[in-house]
Structure 1
């Protein structure tokens, strides 16, 4: 039986081929058969990105703001509206969210690791507002889990179980989970069961190995088992490599593809 991947594979242009300009990275990923993820759209030439003809999988869906207080939520929705317009220019279907804006070091602009009841209510309401915006524009917002032990200390609503609870409480197809398994392994572990628990709400899956945040096969996560579990739950969507290359970039992409080939 011929092996194949049942998933759409994407890779992050912010983290691979870093010796090249971004436009060249995008073209190379596209030529290798991958969809392309970008982060902060304000740092890119949107027309140049569009001219590559690449298929883009996701990008950051806001510029500033936070989910869980009124002023921050208003700012988040305002900048999300601007982000949607850029996403439409690039044909990007998924816009990524976090519990709060992150600075250049990945630290929360407004820390809030301890979530109060009012914060949960405000976050829930903010996601409903974003769902309305997404419905108007035929896109999906995806709320990403993060780890607070290494990369993003102090980020509110960081754990995958909290993201799942929020997304499930909104329960609208325009708001899904960006299930980042690198962050989940550091923060929670038990990834196979986590994938199963999140099955109904996954918008996209992101991967990197632990430790090091490099491609599958360089650390402790057995990604072929993750791939089988995703297949078993009926997931046929996008799996994105959001990882540094441990050495050669093309070899990292080959290892990624092999890990998600069944």
Structure 2
């Protein structure tokens, strides 16, 4: 199959936190939207929600909590509390998916509470917390998506970071309001064997995020064969959102062109 810029079977989105960074966030959002992409944001507390709501952009996802953790009681209650606040913001912006991690992350992407060993009790508590989040999502018509991360380069000490762990948790809850935010960049660093991982996660994928390895820049700048990834996603019948969550290797517009080309047939 030849990859071209003709059209994509997927909805393409771009993270406004990582592209056009010389511009104010609102201008980034408008620029990305004007180029035909949906827009991802991270921590909503750092943005002017009224301005974003009036930007004319369509948003794909945002971080679905402000504080909290999955696997301890106090942290889980805080996660649910701030997730409920996040849902209300998501509804104002029309955002369908709210992103989760194995624990709260600071501004540098490091865990607020690092964890080197996951106990059986933590697995059970994490599953219970995700059930509660699925209830919240179902109540409000949004989907929570649990993201896999890598602990070797970007997020050391994050529990439930491996895609294998994320799949096990989401599969055990098995609710439409809880799905996987499948991050290909993190999966390549942490596990590899991407084709098999994608096929196994297929029924539970809520959204896909991409960047190349090494460097976390746009497709075509590293070792991942993104046209092949696009084909696998197409072959398993995925028709959802693929988001660029990576840096531009040189020029932002070129990065977006390369991203679009990698996922267009």
Q: TM-score normalized by structure 2?
A: 0.98
> Are 1:125 and 2:128 an aligned pair?
yes
Q: 1:236 aligns with which of 214, 226, 239?
A: 239
Q: Distance in 2 between matches of 1:41 and 1:131?
A: 20
Q: Distance in 2 between matches of 1:148 and 1:188?
A: 11
Higher relative contact order (CA closer than 8 Å, sequence separation 6+)? 2
**Distance apart, 1:113 and its partner CA:** 3.3
Q: Distance in 1 between matches of 2:105 and 2:208?
A: 20
SS at 1:71 equivalent:
helix
> Are 1:260 and 2:263 an aligned pair?
yes
Q: 1:66 aligns with which of 64, 69, 72?
A: 69
**Distance apart, 1:197 and its partner CA:** 0.7
Q: Distance in 2 between matches of 1:179 and 1:4?
A: 22
Give the aligned partner of residue 248 of structure 2. Answer: 245
Give the aligned partner of residue 20 of structure 1. Answer: 23
Q: Distance in 2 between matches of 1:183 and 1:139?
A: 24
Q: 1:93 aligns with which of 93, 96, 120?
A: 96
Q: 1:167 aligns with which of 146, 153, 170?
A: 170
Q: 1:78 aligns with which of 74, 77, 81?
A: 81
Per-residue deviation, residues 126-166 of structure 1 (Å, max 9, x unmatched): 00000010011000000000000010000000000000000
Give the aligned partner of residue 111 of structure 1. Answer: 114
Q: Distance in 2 between matches of 1:104 and 1:240?
A: 21
- Matched length: 262
Q: Distance in 1 between matches of 2:220 and 2:184?
A: 14
SS at 1:203 equivalent:
strand
**Distance apart, 1:63 and its partner CA:** 0.1
Per-residue deviation, residues 184-234 of structure 1 (Å, max 9, x unmatched): 000000111110010010000000000000000000000000000000000
Q: Is the 8 A contact 1:4 1:261 kept in 2?
A: yes
Give the aligned partner of residue 154 of structure 2. Answer: 151
Q: 2:144 aligns with which of 137, 141, 144?
A: 141
Q: Is the 8 A contact 1:113 1:157 kept in 2?
A: no
> Are 1:227 and 2:230 an aligned pair?
yes
Q: Distance in 2 between matches of 1:67 and 1:111?
A: 12
